[in-house]
Every structure is written in C-alpha cells, then in structure tokens.
Amino acid sequence: MLDELTAMGQASRQTGIRALFDADAARFDHFSASTDTLTLDYSKTALSKDDLAALLSYARQTSLEQRRNAMFAGARINATEGRAVLHVALRGSVEDAYAVAGDNVSDEVESVLVAMSAFAQGIRNVQIAPARGGRFTDIVNIGIGGSDLGPVMATLALSPYHDGPRAHFVSNVDSADIADTLAKLDPATTLFIIASKTFTTIETMTNAATARRFIADTLGEDAVGAHFCAVSTALDKVAAFGIGADRTFGFWDWVGGRYSIWSAIGLPLMIAIGPENFREFLAGARAMDQHFRHAPLEENLPVLLGLVGWWHRVAQDYAARAIIPYDQRLARFPAYLQQLDMESNGKHVGLDGRRTPTVTGPLVWGEPGTNGQHAFFQLLHQGTNVIPVEFLLGALSHEPDLQPHQDLLIANCLAQSAALMRGRTLEEARQQLLAAGRSLEEAERIAPHREFSGNRPSLTILYRKLDPATLGQLIALYEHRVFVEAQLYGINAFDQWGVELGKELATQLLPVVTGKENTRGRDSSTAGLVHQITRLKG
Ligand code: F6P
C-alpha cells in the first residue's frame, strides 16, 4: 500500500493543483471540513478524491482509530518509557473519568486545578503578597522546552485577556536571558515560578539558583519562600530547593513536557488571564478532543490535517512545512509547534524497533504574515524547493476600531495561498509586460523572471477570533495531528531520546571548559575550540 500511495502522490504532483481547481468548481466544498468554530481548507493541495480515499483506507489499515482509543483509555502507548499518554485528561471534565491502569486521574487533575486557581487568584487579588508587603507586579517563569514554550506562546496569544501581573519568561542558560530580565524587575514585587517536570534540567536549575540569589541578596534569605513557587512532577526535589508544599503544583508522568501547557505548567498563563479564561482555554481543547474521538475520519480535522501532512512528507517528498499565522499574537506558535512536532516525530526507528520504511517528520518553521511576505516568501513562490504552507487566519481581530487592518491582513493571506496555487504562466507574464508598455524584446527577456510555477500546496485553518477557547482548539488540533502522523509513520511520538546525547556530553565537557580537566581524548575539533576559547577568555 505504501508503494501505491507514493506512486499516487508522485502522479498528483504531475497533475498539479491548478488543474484540479479547473476541473472541479466546487473543490473547496469537497476538500474542506469544519467544526462550529474552525475550518480546515485543504483544497489547495494536489489531493484528488481517489488519493483521499486511499489515505483514509491506509489510516484504517494502521489501526489509527484503535490506537486513538487506546490513548484516551489511558493505555501505556508510550512503550519505550512504559507510560500512558493522557494530556487529554488535563482538559477533561470530572465526568470524563479518565483513568490510568484503572485509577481515576480526573479527580486529581481537578484538585490541582482548584489549588492553582486559588493561588493564581490570590496573586491577582493580592491575598498572596510579597514578603515585604505590596503586590506582585511581575511574575517570571523559569523553565525550558515544554516548560516554557507553551506558556510563552499562549500568554502572547491571549494578551487581550491579560489583566494580571506582567509575565516574563527565562529559558536559556545564556546569562543574557536572566540578566536582561532581572534588570527590568524590582525583587520586592517579583514572583518566580520554577517550572520543570523533572526538576533536574540544568538550564532551569542554573537560572533558578540565580533567581534565588537575586531575592536572597536583596530581600534576605527569609523572603525566598514568599517569592517562589514551583511546578513539577518531582515534589521531593522541589522541597529540597526550599519551596513549600503549599506553593508546589504537581503533574504526572503521563503528561509529556510538550503536552503540558494544560497542566500546572500553565500557571503563568492562568495568573496572567485569570482562572476563568484558563478554564475556557481547557474547554476549547476538550471540544477538539471530543471531535477527534467521535467525528468520522472523513470529517475529522486532526485526521485530515495529519493525512495531508503525511501525504506531503512521504508520498510527495516535501521535506519541510511552513507555519504562517496571519495573526501577530501567534508569533510564537511556529516555535511551539517545532517542539510539538519535531520532538515527537523526528525519529527513524519504528515501534517495532526497526528503521522506519519511510521518511518521518518534516522540518517545521515559520513566522507570522504579513512580515514573512517581505522576507522568505520569495523562496516559497519561486525557489527550487517546494514547501507546503499552513496558514492560520482569524476572521475578527480584537481591535474592532482597526478593522481595515484586519481586512488587509485577510486579503493578504488569501492572496498568498491563491498565488501559490495558481501562479502566473510565462505567457501571462509576457502579456502583462506588453500591456505595461514594455517592448517585445524586454517582455521576452523579463517574463521568465516573472513566471510563477504555481501548484505549490497550502492549507488554511480559519477561526473566528483568537480567544482562549479557540487557542485551546488550535493547540489540541495540532497535538492530535502529530499523533495521526506518528501512527502513519509507525513511530512512538511520546519519547525524546534524541535530546539525551547532547545533554550527556555537555555534562562531560563542563570540567574541560572550566579547565578542571584537560582535552585529552577529545576529538580535535572540540579540543581545538576549547583551546581557542581559553585563549579568548584571556
Ligand atoms: O529537551 C528535552 C526536554 O525533556 C523536553 O522534552 C522538555 O519539555 C524539556 O526538556 C524540559 O524538561 P523539564 O520540564 O523536565 O525541565
């Protein structure tokens, strides 16, 4: 079946997208799907009805529905770590009664949410105050990867709902990150959240120690307790750091780091937008979970998004995917998806322990439109690599007085996907130049540079307005899409062994960098660079 699908994918590349539109005036109706609030338009891809039918049957053949049901049932589908994968329980209701190995987890989830809400509300209404009085004006989340990217992305995305203290995020171990952040802050009114699933990540622990000194040196050691809280699954390690149990919010090993924004890792977001808006955010994700669980595959947005993604990557051999939100507040969404997608599906060993029969996850990158249009869109339209684009677009902005901006934004987004699909033929380019008064010789010479091949695929995800529930739906849509693609690749999306080797080597190299050990036994590049670094340090 894989060979057949690849042959179909290559044949579709030949047919092209423009021809499919010319042949079917109602192509949008046939190749789009909607929930109440989201529309996925996948008509501007080279997918025919036969291709789609073949993809759906391949998905069924891979037992996609059974594996999806196993995830929702709390089975230990993360086989290499022996863990369940139940981030959906974080946004479920108590009635959903999610369970791992027969033990209900929904009640525990609810009790952490209640505790987080009380804490967040306490910070917001000054019932919880700094050590020397006053109010917390600023919160700083210290975390990295999944303990940073979700809160950063969502806090920016929902800035119109932000009525709590200012939020800052420190992730990089580079001293520039924490130094530049602390320089703006008054220790007397700053609360630090130390967010780390394992509470061992070196970047986070190093930044946490610096933040601790910032408080202790300025306000005194006794102020530390009032200015710190923590989010972790390693409660003993948090206690050893000196953060009280009443300020520690737990989560569970069945929540992957990149799937943890719904857990207590979302605390900075909750403090920023308030517990009610945070519940709306969870409810949006739950609505997408229900859709993924119950909608027929033919109308199922995450399934369709996953099928098209797999089709582009495997059957049509496109190595990358661009995520272009026409929504400035989703500026960090591409970075968020980089971890979600690439840490999940950037693997070459299948669930059976053997090399996968196909290529797997694509390179994911992107920037908001319209800015990207003035930077890298040249390559998307006329470069030698074809990169499928995923546009995200809201019908409404949060600035009704500035509707002309939104209309321009929308027109630009629609124009880009139409241009990618339709292009401009050589003859059209020539005629345009002649109509503009250029000579025949000039028109012949310049037209090839103004030709656009078209037939470049894109998807558009349309929503009403970027509110908390919509953001929840969008993230859950992409989470389930990653799940679908992993199933088609035959890999486990929920481990991340590929990040370990670099961490181990960094630990071994630290004494070499600090001069406590010599470079003997290191490769010549590493040794040479260490020597140059030592020289430059002076
Ligand atoms: O880089 C690997 C990783 O384990 C990510 O999966 C995770 O989100 C990040 O590090 C941070 O981990 P922690 O929350 O345990 O500090």
What residues line ligand 1, using a CB cutoff of 6 Å?
144-147, 196-198, 201, 204, 257-258, 343, 496, 499
196-223 in b/e form (b: 16+ CB < 10 A) is bbebebebbbebbebbbebbbeebeeeb
Pick from 86, 493, 36: nearest CA to 284: 36
DSSP secondary structure of 81-135? TTB---HHHHTS-GGG--EETTEE-HHHHHHHHHHHHHHHHHHHTTSS--TTSS-
503 carries an active-site annotation: yes
CA of 534 to the centre of ligand 1 (A): 30
Give the residue, out of 87, 141, 198, 345, with the most ligand 1 atoms within 8 A of its beta carbon, to mutate for a pocket test: 198
CA of 253 to the centre of ligand 1 (A): 12
294 carries an active-site annotation: no
Pick from 133, 144, 142, 148: nearest CA to 214: 142
Give the residue, out of 170, 171, 201, 496, with the most ligand 1 atoms within 8 A of its beta carbon, to mutate for a pocket test: 201
pTM of the model: 0.97
Q: Which atom of ligand 1 is nearest to the CA of 204?
A: 16
CA of 105 to the centre of ligand 1 (A): 23
Q: Which protein residue has the closest C-alpha to ligand 1 atom 10?
A: 145
Predicted local confidence at residue 105, as pLDDT: 96
Q: Which atom of ligand 1 is nearest to the CA of 195?
A: 14
CB-count exposure of residue 6 (10 Å: 0-12, 13-18, 19+) = middle
CA of 69 to the centre of ligand 1 (A): 27
* CA separation for the pair 385, 406 (Å, rounded): 31
CA of 314 to the centre of ligand 1 (A): 28
Give the residue, out of 494, 499, 503, with the most ligand 1 atoms within 8 A of its beta carbon, to mutate for a pocket test: 499
Q: Which atom of ligand 1 is nearest to the CA of 201?
A: 16
Give the residue, out of 197, 261, 507, with the most ligand 1 atoms within 8 A of its beta carbon, to mutate for a pocket test: 197
Q: Which protein residue has the closest C-alpha to ligand 1 atom 4?
A: 257
Assembly ipTM? 0.98
Catalytic annotation, pick one of 203, 343, 390, 479: 343
Pick from 343, 403, 303: nearest CA to 68: 303
CA of 390 to the centre of ligand 1 (A): 26
Answer whether 310's CB lies under 8 Å from 500's CB.
no
Give the residue, out of 147, 341, 492, with the most ligand 1 atoms within 8 A of its beta carbon, to mutate for a pocket test: 147
* CA separation for the pair 523, 132 (Å, rounded): 53
Q: Which protein residue has the closest C-alpha to ligand 1 atom 8?
A: 146
Catalytic annotation, pick one of 30, 184, 348, 503: 503
Letter for the amino acid at 112?
V
Q: Which protein residue has the closest C-alpha to ligand 1 atom 16?
A: 196
Answer whether 157's CB lies under 8 Å from 330's CB.
yes
**Residue 499, SS3?**
helix
Pick from 468, 109, 143: nearest CA to 273: 468
Q: Which atom of ligand 1 is nearest to the CA of 146?
A: 8
CA of 196 to the centre of ligand 1 (A): 7
- Tens of each residue's pLDDT in the chain, 538 residues: 899 999 999 999 888 999 999 999 999 999 999 999 999 999 999 999 999 999 999 999 999 999 999 999 999 999 999 999 999 999 999 999 999 989 999 999 999 999 999 999 999 999 999 999 999 999 999 999 999 999 999 999 999 999 999 999 999 999 999 999 999 999 999 999 999 999 999 999 999 999 999 999 999 999 999 999 999 999 999 999 989 999 999 999 999 999 999 999 999 999 999 999 999 999 999 999 999 999 999 999 999 999 999 999 999 999 999 999 999 999 999 999 999 999 999 999 999 999 999 999 999 999 999 999 999 999 999 999 999 999 999 999 999 999 999 999 999 999 999 999 999 999 999 999 999 999 999 999 999 999 999 999 999 999 999 999 999 999 999 999 999 999 999 999 999 999 999 999 999 999 999 999 999 999 999 999 999 999 999 8
Q: Which protein residue has the closest C-alpha to ligand 1 atom 2?
A: 499
Helices 49-61 and 468-489: angle between axes, nearest 10 degrees: 70
Q: Which atom of ligand 1 is nearest to the CA of 496?
A: 6
Predicted local confidence at residue 1, as pLDDT: 86
Q: Roughly how many angstroms between the first and final C-alpha of the chain, as a whole number?
A: 62
For the record, the structure tokens of 523 come out as: 């490769």
CA of 537 to the centre of ligand 1 (A): 31
Q: What is the DSSP letter of 13?
A: H
Residue-range domains of the chain with CATH = 1-21+35-62+295-422+456-489 (3.40.50.10490), 87-279 (3.40.50.10490), 502-537 (1.10.1390.10)
CA of 115 to the centre of ligand 1 (A): 24
Catalytic annotation, pick one of 374, 449, 516, 537: 374
509: part of which helix (H) or strand (E)?
helix 500-513
Answer whether 332's CB lies under 8 Å from 152's CB.
yes
Q: Which protein residue has the closest C-alpha to ligand 1 atom 6?
A: 257
Answer whether 315's CB lies under 8 Å from 47's CB.
no
Backbone angles phi, psi at 503, to 5 degrees: -65, -45
